[in-house]
Amino acid sequence: MGKTDSAYDYIKERIINGVYPPLSDLSEDKLQEELNVSRTPVREAILRLEKEDFVYVYPRKGTIVTDVTHDLIEDVYEIRELIEPRMVASTMHLVKRDWLLDIRKRFLEPPEELEGEELRQYFIQLDTELHTNIMDGCPNRYMRRLMKNIYDQNQRLRMACSNPDGEDDRTVIEHVQIVDAVLNKDKKRLEEVLITHLEESKRRTIQTFR
């Protein structure tokens, strides 16, 4: 992996996970020190992140992390609702059964010792794993590329707006329903439960955001 790619991954991960919070300044000098690289890889990484709407770049002034807004929530879920049902339906026959059974169990039986923030992080990671693994099997490369950026933005929304006390029972049930529909290769049922899940996820995100 080149220096620009490493810088890009490093900065993006910290934006998504909230280490660099919305509207915070990104100092190129500090990033160079953290990454032990020259200015060029950092600048190139920042320009890539600007194209993906993770940062605002103000020439000769500086760079700040983009804000988490109601418009961002609307845009992310509009794309997910338009594309994700089609994408998942085209991928469902490729998903490994053993993995589906395993992630189903992990949704229903989280470690007993987890609570609060640790439990929230546990379910965020499961959510990301479920949707990302299904996306990775999609045969349409352009759809994969688009949804990768959408999922990264969605991950950022979850980190900023999800329930601080962990996942509620309804959300767990929605994910299990998606897994069951894929296990049963039931395309109609899959589209139904996925649309319901996306609508409810959007509602919960907006409610927490407010």
Q: Compute the mean pLDDT over every residue in the chain, rounded to the nearest whole number.
A: 90
164 pLDDT more than 70: no
Regarding whether 135 and 83 lie in a shared domain, the answer is yes
**pLDDT value of position 165:** 57
DSSP string, 119-160: HHHHHHHHHHHHHHHHHHT-S-HHHHHHHHHHHHHHHHHHHH
What value does the mean pLDDT take over residues 44-66?
93
pLDDT surpassing 80 at residue 169? no
Q: How far apart are CA 50 and CA 56, in angstroms?
A: 6
Strands (E), the chain: 25-26, 55-58, 62-65
The per-residue pLDDT for 115 is 87
Using alpha carbons only, how large is the chain's radius of gyration in Å?
A: 18
Domains held by the chain: number: 2
The answer to whether 69 touches 205, Cβ cutoff 8 Å, is no
* Average pLDDT estimate for 167-191: 90
Check whether residue 89 and residue 53 sit in a common domain. no
- The DSSP bridge pattern shows strands 55-58 and 25-26 to be unpaired
Considering the chain, what percentage of its residues have pLDDT values greater than 90? 65
Q: Is the pLDDT of residue 181 over 90?
A: yes
**Residue 172: is it exposed, middle or buried by C-beta count within 10 angstroms (0-12/13-18/19+)?**
middle
pLDDT at 208: 84
Q: Based on the fold, state whether residues 49 and 75 are members of the same structural domain.
A: no
Q: What is the DSSP letter of 182?
A: H
pLDDT attached to residue 185: 93
Q: Domain residues for 203?
A: 70-209
**Same domain, residue pair 83 and 57:** no
The torsion defined by the Cα of 90, 93, 96 and 102, in degrees rounded to 10, comes to 80
Cα separations in angstroms, 77 against 23, 65, 81, 195: 22, 21, 6, 10
Are 32 and 78 in a shared domain?
no
Predicted model pTM: 0.86
**β-strand partners of 55:** 65
Span 67-125, pLDDT tens digits: 999 999 999 999 999 999 988 888 888 899 999 999 999 999 999 999 888 888 899 89
Instruction: Clarify whether residues 9 and 81 are in a common domain.
Output: no
CATH of the domain at 179: 1.20.120.530
